[in-house]
Chain A
């Protein structure tokens, strides 16, 4: 029989581990729930638990997602889905070296236009992005011919796409690109294509928004949802000693395991060092159980059917709901 859970490294059944997790969260002064890898159903359940436990909630990859979001919510942006870019873009600018190559085949919905794919990467990227924006804005500057050609191609395109990754370029660069896109739309069409982050951070952000109205880095400490990208950064809270109990849901343990009392919902494949206080073995989304995940290629949430669903290993959502139930029991008995 497979091991369902561990308390202090010793195998136990799932139920006492769930009860222990509920007790730890209930007794915590500042509980924190952190998503490593998590499907959307687990995110919904984690947010229900966070509300019940007056905990904070973050995603390990939230920083880059919030960098993109910050540009949108401070100034606005024009963006495109990956499928529409594939179907229509006649000019693609890849910014930095992180984003993958884009197929140079002609856009299927306007094949006669062909497709020009360009990449701007390497040294002094920020400075060159600034120059590019200035060129697009019609400023009288001298720039190298390659950059001038790039600006000309964007201006001449019918439907240009600028693709970046917030994991690589800083928020100011994203803002510059969005400003440039805005200018190009005075005369033609151009849209941004931000690359979505790892570990379903885009899906978790969506679930967090429909559950709370806010993206990750949200807290229920005062009984209602509040959002603060700096204050509620999980790594900062752990390293700074602000969080006293952390519930982690991921494929492996977080880099800061060992610095805080830790409850972990991880698959049996996870390396358990240092050993968390409570471990509850959990299915892998889309592998051990069906899951809703953000598909970066489609730019949408999709349903990923597990080829061989496991009846023995529950999904994180079920375990999180059980912990919420255990916590309610804790609170009722106080």
Chain B
């Protein structure tokens, strides 16, 4: 099938392209103009033609997400879903917005099978998981013993067993400290019984990512998330990276100072300046938007501490091998001083970090807001007048703790396309995605500009996935299933016998019990996971 999309403004920053033009698709790929008549043609004058959106950090599957669903039945009946929609709806709503790939960023290896099975059932989009290590005893033992090669083998074995695209570490050492009755844990605190600091864990895991050649840098959820004054931890963490690649997830949640009468303020300008000055650092924002949501995190220490703020007043804390997790429902309120500061802080980060290749568009779904808030957030970034209207509705005392009213920047289409398409594909190591060049996978979103920018983003005019027209104005045109992505770095098979012995001693089970068998998640006999090459 030969398809021509013509008449629209094609914005493809990976190729410096921004102008009216054509995109040709044959089967699943973008091709050069073939000199033949197309089988079908889409005339889209006035529309914006982008590659499909890629979300690098949304909690959409796995045992913790499912617990969030089970915790809140009163917010699930009917059309409601309180930040944790069922899989079918996740696929539909993302695709309607023009997103064609989503990364679930926090899956412990022991529950990877469930996550992959859930993801396999999500229609329309491609997906991937990040595998979590850094709070597990074996990781501590190997680092303490200076066994860097064995640590890399262990991580590679975990990635292979889980089918993961990269490594995430969550408050490294913090969950281990929680087990030992800690109530707080910072970058240079020592993990009880492990004799290691969080800083040492981060550096060791950065080394693993580099040694294995994983395209995606270490994906870090920092210490002290959500606490006043935690900007110092984030700044120290950036310095601790010592120039090596590091991705800081949901930066907004560690951008707080202690200024003002309520000892809570935005420290986004300081942190944005530090990010701007550190080309090795990438970040996603984790924007807060107002409304009911549910926080889902494997930072069990932080979630334990947040129980008192649960709304509705209930929670689930799971203590598990590695990280565990906590589910705490929460309602962000526009008139609440703290929530308003958080909202402004996120926007400041978006507007003060200069390079759209290094700042990524997330709400840490659903922790800052459900992903269904993306259209409103994109509109806020592109329209300073709209921002001014929102600003006028938040408490003045909150506004005084931020610089947001002074910021006049508006994102343009190339910046939006970079931040939500080209940059994520590059960050994840997916060369055939995030752009519209020849050979690209034909994942394409076409938006029809209108006065209400949020409405434009909520339902793309047309969305193509793998060359198929899957959505038109929010209506599914063809049911389609994507695939999962994983890296498969090699490792010394000697790690298998060490793991077998360790698991037998500590857990009394085989370490292979948790592996994701391809047959467990295959659809229609197709290979469910596509390999992403590692860097040489």
B114 — which chain A residues lie within 8 A by C-beta? Answer: 206, 300-301
Interface mask (A71-108 → B, CB under 8 Å = 1, otherwise 0):
01111111111011011100000000000000000001
Interface mask (B304-336 → A, CB under 8 Å = 1, otherwise 0):
100100100111111111001000000000000
- Among A159, A209, A212, max chain B CB count under 10 A is at A209
Contact of B61 (CB < 8 Å), options: A73, A210, A211, A303? A210
Cα distance A211–B316 in the bound complex, in angstroms:
20
Q: For the complex, is B400 an interface residue (Cβ under 8 Å from A)? A: no
The reply to whether B520 and A290 contact each other, CB–CB distance below 8 Å, is: yes
Q: For the complex, is A214 an interface residue (Cβ under 8 Å from B)? A: yes
Q: For the complex, is A302 an interface residue (Cβ under 8 Å from B)? A: yes
Closest A residue, CB atoms, query B329: A76
Q: For the complex, is A231 an interface residue (Cβ under 8 Å from B)? A: no
Q: For the complex, is B193 an interface residue (Cβ under 8 Å from A)? A: yes
- Among B70, B85, B316, B509, max chain A CB count under 10 A is at B70
Q: Which range holds the interface residue count of chain A?
A: 35 or more
The reply to whether A83 and B321 contact each other, CB–CB distance below 8 Å, is: yes
The reply to whether B310 and A76 contact each other, CB–CB distance below 8 Å, is: yes
Contact of A215 (CB < 8 Å), options: B70, B113, B180, B310? B70
Q: For the complex, is A227 an interface residue (Cβ under 8 Å from B)? A: yes
Contact of A298 (CB < 8 Å), options: B318, B509, B517? B509
Within 8 A of A (CB), among B507-536: 507-509, 513-517, 519-520
The reply to whether B508 and A301 contact each other, CB–CB distance below 8 Å, is: no
Q: For the complex, is A233 an interface residue (Cβ under 8 Å from B)? A: no
B71 — which chain A residues lie within 8 A by C-beta? Answer: 72-73, 76
Cα distance A159–B177 in the bound complex, in angstroms:
12
The reply to whether B66 and A302 contact each other, CB–CB distance below 8 Å, is: no
Contact of A72 (CB < 8 Å), options: B77, B78, B79, B314? B314
B113 — which chain A residues lie within 8 A by C-beta? Answer: 292, 300-303
Q: For the complex, is A224 an interface residue (Cβ under 8 Å from B)? A: yes
Interface mask (A285-327 → B, CB under 8 Å = 1, otherwise 0):
0000010100101111111010000000000000000000000
The reply to whether A211 and B88 contact each other, CB–CB distance below 8 Å, is: yes
Cα distance A3–B87 in the bound complex, in angstroms:
37
Q: With contacts A79-B316, A206-B66, A213-B84 known, is A224 near B508, CB below 8 A? A: no
Q: With contacts A72-B71, A76-B314 known, is A303 near B520, CB below 8 A? A: yes
Contact of B79 (CB < 8 Å), options: A205, A224, A300? A224
Closest A residue, CB atoms, query B119: A210
B110 — which chain A residues lie within 8 A by C-beta? Answer: 81, 83, 298, 300
The reply to whether B320 and A81 contact each other, CB–CB distance below 8 Å, is: yes
The reply to whether B520 and A292 contact each other, CB–CB distance below 8 Å, is: yes
Q: For the complex, is A109 an interface residue (Cβ under 8 Å from B)? A: yes
Cα distance A290–B81 in the bound complex, in angstroms:
32
B513 — which chain A residues lie within 8 A by C-beta? Answer: 295, 298, 302
Cα distance A209–B82 in the bound complex, in angstroms:
13
The reply to whether A86 and B507 contact each other, CB–CB distance below 8 Å, is: yes
Interface mask (A171-197 → B, CB under 8 Å = 1, otherwise 0):
000000000000001001101000000
Q: For the complex, is A40 an interface residue (Cβ under 8 Å from B)? A: yes
- Among B81, B117, B304, B505, max chain A CB count under 10 A is at B117
A88 — which chain B residues lie within 8 A by C-beta? Answer: 179
- Among B110, B319, B324, max chain A CB count under 10 A is at B319
Interface mask (A49-80 → B, CB under 8 Å = 1, otherwise 0):
00000000000000000000100111111111
- Among A72, A213, A305, max chain B CB count under 10 A is at A213
Q: With contacts A87-B506, A224-B78, A298-B513 known, is A74 near B314, CB below 8 A? A: yes
Cα distance A280–B520 in the bound complex, in angstroms:
24
The reply to whether B70 and A72 contact each other, CB–CB distance below 8 Å, is: yes
A73 — which chain B residues lie within 8 A by C-beta? Answer: 70-73, 314
Q: With contacts A189-B179, A213-B81, A300-B111 known, is A87 near B507, CB below 8 A? A: yes
Q: For the complex, is B432 an interface residue (Cβ under 8 Å from A)? A: no
Q: Which residue numbers of B lie inside 8 Å of A, CB to CB?
A: 61, 63, 66, 69-73, 76-79, 81, 84-88, 110-111, 113-114, 117-118, 121, 137, 178-181, 193, 304, 307, 310, 313-321, 324, 505-509, 513-517, 519-520
In order of increasing CB-CB distance, the 7 nearest A-B pairs are A213-B76, A76-B314, A76-B315, A303-B520, A213-B86, A78-B317, A301-B114
Can you pick out 23 interface pairs between chain A and chain B where the beta carbons lie within 8 Å of each other? A69-B70, A72-B314, A75-B314, A76-B317, A78-B317, A79-B319, A81-B324, A83-B110, A84-B320, A84-B324, A87-B321, A110-B193, A188-B181, A210-B69, A211-B88, A213-B69, A214-B73, A224-B78, A227-B73, A299-B320, A301-B113, A303-B519, A303-B520
